[in-house]
Structure 1
Amino acid sequence: MRAVSRASPAGLAGVALLLALAAASLFVGAGHLSLARLTQDPAAWTLFAASRLPRTLAAVLAGAGLAVAGLVMQTLARNRFVEPMTAGGGQSAALGVLAVTLLWPAASLPMKMAAASAAALAASSLFVAVAQRLPPTQPLLVPLFGLAYGAVLGSALTFLAWRTDLLQYVEVWINGDFSGVLRGRYELLWLAAAATGLAWWAADRLTVLSLGRDASVGLGLDYAAMMRLGLVIVSVVSAITVTTVGMIPFVGLVAPNLVTRLVGDHLRRATPWAALAGACLTLGCDVLGRLLRHPYEAPVGTVLGVVGAAAFLWLLFGPRPARA
């Protein structure tokens, strides 16, 4: 009860922060935009509707989806130090996009997303299978394996892109950036929102899944089916994010850890707060990237690489709040 009572004010503060960041995102950028211009200049309204609003929605949807996907992946692997973008999910999704581009150059964006989802599903399944076989008394072995696994997949991606003269093309997928988001080019991220809702719907069963195979089966859970569902959620969110805005690191690592420190490990309670924290983190870093070198921009993936790493180090070595 103490954790819930502390989480309620934090949740209200998080909603207020998200609204403030969304307002800043709508009006911060290279092109001047204000409420007065929106009511007087048709070109300002076009900029708002075609670029600023889609970009803000894309940052919120991507951040929320990645945070919940990270929470689900940590549940599947039973380890708090993993997330899709640093454990092979993002790299494998980019490999899927590159493969379908080479085999079918005229493929549509949904087809690329389907190929990326299939590749991410295969890579995530292998990662979770290996992670579950590592000794639970050595929790740092799982993230170390994830880093090595992601590095191998990233090396394969870079080598294949180099051999096919597509390195510049691949850069679009491996470095998250919202500057190219326009109306008509971000709508697939609503599928990530649907996957987030699916995770919340299955939250109770995923929480039981975190107890392990024997305990889950003993409680009547279909362990294999729930494992497949969790992997599909992680893979779909990873693939949609990579194909739409590129790889965005650390959101799925920092946001779930921050939330579970405050509200506990039950996914039913933690999922909405993880989505809120991920949206705030991603949107805040996107706004910061626009301000650092204004009127130029720093990609959100670069900003999150610094901010996310610092936040994760604080989570590792900072004081832990006591929970009832």
Structure 2
Amino acid sequence: MRLGRRGNLPLLAAFLLTAALACTSLMVGVSDLSLAALAAGDDRAWLVLWESRVPRMLALVLSGASMAIAGLLMQIVIRNRFVEPSTVGTVEAAGMGLLVMTLLAPGAPVIVKMAVGAVFAMAGTGLFLLILRRVPLRDQMMVPLIGIILTGVLQAVTTFFAYRADLMQTVLAWTQGDLSGVLRGRYELLWLGAAVAGLAWITADRFTLAGLGRDMAASLGLAHGRVVGLGLAIVSLVTAVVVVTVGIIPFLGLIVPNLVSLALGDNMRRAVPWVAVSGAGLVLGCDILGRTLRAPYEIPVGTILGVIGSLVFLILLLRRRADAA
């Protein structure tokens, strides 16, 4: 499929807009950095660019794209448009796993902490699904409500043990989605998350069929349980990688897939490129906004996205109520 076709022109435009935001992100920050200084061969300017700005920009793009895809995948697997990793306990469970590793093995390699976080994230998602099976659901809005309650419980448990161990500052670093400390050598794990998220695109047709329900998927010859398990494993790995590297980015996996689905429908293979580009662009835009609103101080991207995401979430809820009426 060639990009020159009319149907791909909007996607190309979105990609170019995201690329423009990425280039803008390279020029925004406390340290003065200009094209003139780079062209003149200023060693300090090139050091800031390669050691700080480029890693931060790549971290924004990779985390935004992968978390947006993870949100889309979770919505299709659970068959509810109002769930995502930060509203069903997946993110909080991953944070709990990181806290456990900090308490028991603080010197463990980052990849080990990520693996433990992924296991906890999968366990938290599994607990959410177990609760859904035992609670009679008369309204689809009960699903995100249960997820929010579970999220609050997991947050409370994590906060309690972090407070007792004097690790509240560490936990806050995970919950803010702050990329100010991202440097070269401290973001590369996100490439693994992006690769895992890419697996969701490769197997998109299977997940689309799984989203039709267990009976329909079985009638089409699909092993529904295995596909759902694969989907939850992808979501858990992506969540753990992002949390351990840049922290929690709330609502991203909720608002981006919903807005894309309103325009493109529920075909996952068609939606994934749009979700990835839109997620990356949204995170880049929020980060640029956070770095310019109170310059030279910085507002964490998680805070900016939390405000925007909560507003969009409310709009989606009200829209659903209006459509139901």
What TM-score does the superposition give when structure 2 sets the normalisation length? 0.93
Question: Which AA in structure 2 matches 1:35?
Answer: L
Paired position in structure 2 for 1:33? 33
Q: Distance in 2 between matches of 1:88 and 1:54?
A: 29
Q: Distance in 1 between matches of 2:182 and 2:188?
A: 10
Question: Which AA in structure 1 matches 2:85?
Answer: P
Contact 1:27–1:33 under 8 Å retained in 2 = yes
Contact 1:134–1:142 under 8 Å retained in 2 = no
Q: Distance in 1 between matches of 2:300 and 2:85?
A: 19
Paired position in structure 1 for 2:227? 226
Paired position in structure 1 for 2:66? 65
CA deviations on 1:76-125 (whole Å, 9 max, x unpaired) are: 11100000012111111111011011111211111110110110011112
Q: Distance in 2 between matches of 1:294 and 1:113?
A: 33
Contact 1:258–1:315 under 8 Å retained in 2 = no
Deviation, 1:225, is 1.0
Mapping of residues 302-313 of structure 1, within 5 Å? 302-313=303-314
Q: Does 1:54 align with 2:55?
A: yes
Unpaired stretches in structure 1, ≥5 consecutive residues: 320-324
Deviation, 1:214, is 1.2
Deviation, 1:215, is 1.2
From the superposition, tell whether residues 66 and 88 of structure 1 become closer, same or farther in structure 2 (CA, over 3 Å): same
Contact 2:137–2:143 under 8 Å retained in 1 = no
Question: Which AA in structure 1 matches 2:112?
Answer: M
Paired position in structure 2 for 1:147? 148
Partner SS state of residue 294, structure 1: coil
Contact 2:287–2:300 under 8 Å retained in 1 = yes
Q: Which aligned segments of 4 or more residues in structure 1 are displaced greater than 2 angstroms?
A: 5-10, 128-137, 311-319
Paired position in structure 1 for 2:323? none
CA RMSD of aligned residues (A): 1.9
Question: Which AA in structure 2 matches 1:231?
Answer: L
Partner SS state of residue 236, structure 2: helix
Partner SS state of residue 11, structure 1: helix
Mapping of residues 179-190 of structure 1, within 5 Å? 179-190=180-191
CA deviations on 1:11-58 (whole Å, 9 max, x unpaired) are: 233112201110110000111111111122111001000000000000
Mapping of residues 120-199 of structure 1, within 5 Å? 120-131=121-132, 137-199=138-200
Question: Which AA in structure 2 matches 1:25?
Answer: S
Deviation, 1:211, is 1.1
Paired position in structure 2 for 1:88? 89
Q: Distance in 1 between matches of 2:146 and 2:290?
A: 31
Q: Distance in 1 between matches of 2:37 and 2:82?
A: 46
Contact 1:7–1:263 under 8 Å retained in 2 = no
Partner SS state of residue 156, structure 2: helix
Q: Distance in 1 between matches of 2:197 and 2:94?
A: 18
From the superposition, tell whether residues 249 and 6 of structure 1 become closer, same or farther in structure 2 (CA, over 3 Å): farther
Q: Distance in 2 between matches of 1:77 and 1:132?
A: 11
**Alignment length (residue pairs):** 317
Q: Distance in 2 between matches of 1:7 and 1:169?
A: 46
